[in-house]
Structure 1
Amino acid sequence: MTEFDYGNLAYLGLLGAVLVIWMFIQNRERLGQKLQYLAIWGLIFLGAIAAVGLWGDIRQTVMPSQAVFADEGRVELPRAPDGHYYVSLDINGVPTRFVIDTGATGMVLTQQDAERAGLDAEGLMFHGEASTANGIVRTAPVRLDEVALGPFTDRGVRAYVNGGTMRTSLLGMSYLQRFERLEISGGRLILER
Structure 2
Amino acid sequence: MPGDDWARLIYYGLLLLVIGGALLFELSGRGSRGLRQIVLWAVIFAGVSFAANLWLEQEAQQVVSGGRVEIPVSRDNHFYLTAELNGTPVRFVVDTGATSIALGSEDARKIGIDPDDLAYIGTARTANGIVRIANVTIEEFAIGDIVDRNVPATVIGGDLDGSLLGMSYLRRFARVSFEGDLLVLER
TM over 0.5: yes
Q: Which residue of 1 aligns with 2:96?
A: 102
What are the equivalent positions in structure 2 for 1:1-193 lying under 5 Å apart? 1-2=6-7, 31=32, 33-34=33-34, 37=37, 40-41=40-41, 43-45=43-45, 47-48=47-48, 50-51=50-51, 55-56=53-54, 58-59=55-56, 61=58, 63-70=59-66, 73-193=67-187
Once the two structures are TM-superposed, the CA of residue 105 in structure 1 deviates from its matched residue by: 1.0
Counterparts of 1:95 and 1:104, CA distance in 2: 20
TM superposition outliers: structure 1 runs of 4+ over 4 Å? 33-36
Residues 38/66 of structure 1: CA separation in 2 closer, same or farther (3 Å cut): same
* Partners of 2:62 and 2:70 within 8 A in 1: yes
Q: TM-score, normalised by structure 1?
A: 0.75
Amino acid at match of 1:40: L
Task: Name which one, 1 or 2, has greater alpha-carbon Rg.
Answer: 1
**Equivalent residue pairs, number:** 171
* Superposition RMSD in Å: 3.3
Output the CA distance in 1 between the equivalents of 2:95 and 2:39. 51
Percent of matched pairs sharing the same residue = 45
- 1:51 shift after superposition: 2.9
Q: Report the TM-score, using the length of structure 2 for normalisation.
A: 0.78
CA contact (8 A) 2:79 2:183 kept: yes
Q: Equivalents in 1 of 2:170, 2:63: separation in Å?
A: 17
Segments of 5+ residues of structure 2 without an aligned counterpart are: 1-5, 26-30
Write the distance in 2 (CA, Å) between the matches of 1:42 and 1:102: 46
